[in-house]
Amino acid sequence: MALPSSARLTIDLEALAHNYRVLTAEAGGVEAAPVLKGDAYGLGAGPVARRLWAEGARSFFVARVSEGVLLRMELGPERPARILVLDGLPPGSADALAGADLTPVLTSLPQVEAASLYAAQAARALKVGLHLDTGMNRQGMTAADARALAQSPDRLRGLDVELVMSHLGTATDPTSPRSAKQLAAFERLRALFPEAQASLAASAGIFLGAPYRFDLVRPGVSLYGGGPFEVTHPALKQVATFEAPILDVRVIAPGETLGYGDSLRIETPTRVAVVAAGYADGLIRAGKAGGKGWFAGAARPILIINMDLIVLDIGDAPARPGQMVQLMGPNAPIDDLAAASGTVAHECLVRISERAERVYLGES
């Protein structure tokens, strides 16, 4: 059991379910397949997947084969979900994929070849997806690869292509012309595989309009409360609340220096709370510049973030040791913390470490 002096990460699965419904509605009713890579962005793939299954989700994405194997166990035989693996079929992974009934999203011609060979050896059809690159230049087959496959169906022998997908590089910036270019490229390529489901949009793509939604959307961060465009979205709820208790309250006199180094000179008497959280809990050290913690009804500036301690300017708010400060949650939105930390909500979520006690609300 965690002692009261530790930081706590509360995962509100009711809020997660709410966000799933918001995103499904926004997607106009096409299938929404939650992205659960990185242990569901650090929130726990098992509880998150089981709750989303209860909400009607039947397909899930993970990055690694190992994540897919674990997710299959977490879901159990009573929830026979389709689990799609974004890494596709890395060398040596075919048995693990087949053993856990995972669907690899193949990312290259050599992967297609390996999958087809495996299907021949196993003497049964293998369900696969194809990842087609439309301009992000990170993962997926080129347009030429896709055409080569479509023109010689032999290379797909033994493979049942259920899904073709691509990923947008600039979806979080609705003004970028690159998204429309990728959309046009994807429309051309998906037409080569007319039988397969098509998918282009992650969280942000869902909000770019109907043409981006195709047959299936792949929301990740917005399920967990991150705004699609890296700012808080009014219809989405915060799923993760990170809180830590006050250890001490003190007043720092003018002319004093706070913490390590000489840079933080105190100009006026400053009442601070010393809070039991730090970068060992996964908070990002850079977040002190502009980061805020919520305490006693107001957002309070963070002054320093060390490994185990945060110092927060609490003004004249009544405070005593043991009271909790919210560093992420409904009153300290993840996108604000991400902006202050010079990163994205995804990274703030996955960084929360094992030291923080996990509490789940609304488990199913």
Ligand X SMILES: *Cc1c(COP(=O)(O)O)cnc(C)c1O
Q: What angle separates helix 65-75 from helix 45-54, to the nearest 10 degrees?
A: 60
Nearest-approach distance from CB 62 to ligand X, in angstroms: 10
Q: Which is nearer to ligand X, 35 or 311 (CB)?
A: 35
Q: Which is nearer to ligand X, 198 or 275 (CB)?
A: 198
Nearest-approach distance from CB 232 to ligand X, in angstroms: 15
Q: Which is nearer to ligand X, 50 or 218 (CB)?
A: 218
Amino acid letter, 127: K
Indicate the SS3 state at residue 7: coil
The one segment of 19-27, 42-50, 216-224, 294-302 that binds ligand X by CB under 6 A? 216-224
Instruction: Name which position in 44, 88, 219, 333 contacts ligand X (CB under 6 A).
Output: 219
Q: Which is nearer to ligand X, 82 or 218 (CB)?
A: 218
Residue 271 structure tokens = 């009442």
Q: Kind of pairing, strands 270-275 and 240-252?
A: antiparallel
The one segment of 146-154, 179-187, 219-227, 331-339 that binds ligand X by CB under 6 A? 219-227
32 in Cβ contact with 20 (< 8 Å):
yes
- Cα gap 45→305, rounded to integer Å: 28
Instruction: Name which position in 17, 75, 128, 202 contacts ligand X (CB under 6 A).
Output: 202
160 secondary structure, DSSP code:
E
The reply to whether 138 sits in an annotated binding site is: yes
270 in Cβ contact with 264 (< 8 Å):
no
163 in Cβ contact with 214 (< 8 Å):
no
The arrangement of strands across the sheet holding 197-199 comes to 59-62, 82-85, 102-106, 126-131, 159-165, 197-199
Nearest-approach distance from CB 346 to ligand X, in angstroms: 6
Indicate the SS3 state at residue 240: strand
Instruction: Name which position in 135, 220, 291, 333 contacts ligand X (CB under 6 A).
Output: 220
Name beta bridge partners: 216.
31
Nearest-approach distance from CB 315 to ligand X, in angstroms: 36
Residue 207 phi, psi (nearest 5): -90, 5
Nearest-approach distance from CB 218 to ligand X, in angstroms: 4
For residue 243, which of 316, 342, 310 has the smallest C-alpha distance?
Answer: 310
String of b and e for 41-54 (b: at least 16 CB within 10 Å)? bbbbbbbbbbbbbe
Residue 324 structure tokens = 């909790």
Q: Does 218 bind ligand X (CB under 6 A)?
A: yes
Residue 5 structure tokens = 């002096």
Q: Does 213 bind ligand X (CB under 6 A)?
A: no
The reply to whether 155 sits in an annotated binding site is: no
Instruction: Name which position in 82, 167, 190, 233 contacts ligand X (CB under 6 A).
Output: 167
Residue 96 structure tokens = 């693990």
Nearest-approach distance from CB 217 to ligand X, in angstroms: 9
Q: Which is nearer to ligand X, 202 or 283 (CB)?
A: 202
Q: Supply the residues annotated as catalytic.
A: 37, 260
The one segment of 121-129, 212-220, 255-263, 306-314 that binds ligand X by CB under 6 A? 212-220
**Applying CB under 6 A, what is the total number of residues that bind ligand X?**
12
Give residues 232-251 in contact with ligand X (rule: CB under 6 A): none
Give residues 62-121 in contact with ligand X (rule: CB under 6 A): 86
Enumerate the known binding-site residues for substrate.
138, 307
Binding site for ligand X (CB under 6 A): 35, 37, 86, 167, 202-203, 218-222, 346
Enumerate the known binding-site residues.
138, 307
